[in-house]
């Protein structure tokens, strides 16, 4: 079904690697014009070039960066059809050892960044003659159930879940042509998860001598670790006309993890 997003402009944050890069690739393959952003411009530019996307350095926690992105879109396409708020960081640390600065940094990137993006780009998302724009916020199954030693991450992702629902209802109530949904990945093999697995091994959460990826896969009913493409195709669906009546929902892509 190539061409599901033909003629649409999409902005994806945190697109230098992992889930963000996979979403950008999948949307480009479906015909979307991509603006990809990340704080790591050196890693972002090759990924952007590979799919013919515009690369833009954007720190999602900085309001001025969002304003600059909005200005570029206004001067170019003049409207935005798809916003994927994917950028995020993780902190694996007991609550007792988490500093206030660390807590605030996780919230600034994972939650404030989505608030800033949605608020700043609202005029561009609502500037359309037909159809609806789609905002897709990447949360986590950690925003639905709790996990030890990552309270800041869990809470930030729960905030993403509820912010998505709140905006979906608010904008529908106001008659704005914007759908808002959240995606909740489980264990997807990304650089972020690889770092987390290293911490789990070092802390003894995964036993010494055990294949760590086999251990992670064994916790999933489908007995495998997710691929970034699994999440990317969910994002394509939510961005497409196939999801024209879908807003305020949460799409869990976790191989059955939270259903246990």
Q: How many CB atoms lie within 10 A of CB 241?
A: 11
Beta pairing partners, 35:
11, 54
Name residue, tokens 């070092």: 202
CA distance 139 to 110: 9
CA distance 69 to 12: 12
In the residue annotation, 153 being an active-site residue is answered as yes
Measured in degrees and rounded to the nearest 5, phi and psi for residue 221 equal -55, -35
Among 153, 167, 179, 158, residue whose Cα is nearest residue 115: 167
Catalytic option among 20, 92, 135, 153: 153
Token couple for 10 = 């999409």
C-alpha distances in angstroms, 223 versus 55, 111, 141, 220? 36, 31, 17, 5
Q: So which residues are the catalytic ones? A: 153
């Amino acid at each position: 079904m190539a061409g599901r997003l033909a003629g649409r402009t999409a902005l994806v944050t945190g697109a230098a690697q992992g889930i963000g890069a996979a979403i950008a690739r999948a949307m480009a393959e479906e015909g979307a014009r991509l603006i990809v952003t990340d704080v790591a411009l050196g890693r972002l530019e090759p990924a952007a070039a590979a799919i013919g996307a515009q690369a833009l350095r954007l720190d999602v926690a900085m309001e001025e960066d969002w304003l600059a992105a909005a200005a570029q879109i206004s001067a170019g396409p003049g409207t935005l059809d798809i916003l994927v708020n994917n950028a995020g960081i993780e902190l694996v640390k007991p609550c007792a050892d988490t500093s206030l600065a660390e807590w605030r940094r996780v919230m600034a990137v994972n939650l404030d960044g989505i608030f800033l993006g949605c608020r700043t780009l609202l005029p561009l998302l609502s500037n359309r003659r037909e159809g609806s724009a789609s905002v897709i916020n990447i949360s986590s199954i950690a925003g639905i159930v709790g996990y030890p030693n990552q309270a800041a991450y869990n809470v930030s992702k729960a905030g993403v879940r509820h912010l998505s629902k709140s905006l979906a209802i608010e904008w529908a109530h106001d008659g704005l042509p914007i759908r808002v949904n959240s995606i909740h990945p489980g264990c997807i093999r990304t650089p972020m998860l690889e770092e987390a697995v290293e911490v789990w091994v070092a802390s003894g959460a995964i036993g010494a001598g055990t294949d760590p990826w086999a251990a992670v896969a064994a916790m999933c009913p489908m007995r495998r670790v997710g691929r970034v493409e699994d999440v990317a195709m969910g994002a394509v669906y939510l961005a497409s006309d196939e999801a024209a009546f879908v807003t305020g929902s949460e799409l869990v892509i976790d191989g059955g993890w939270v259903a246990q």
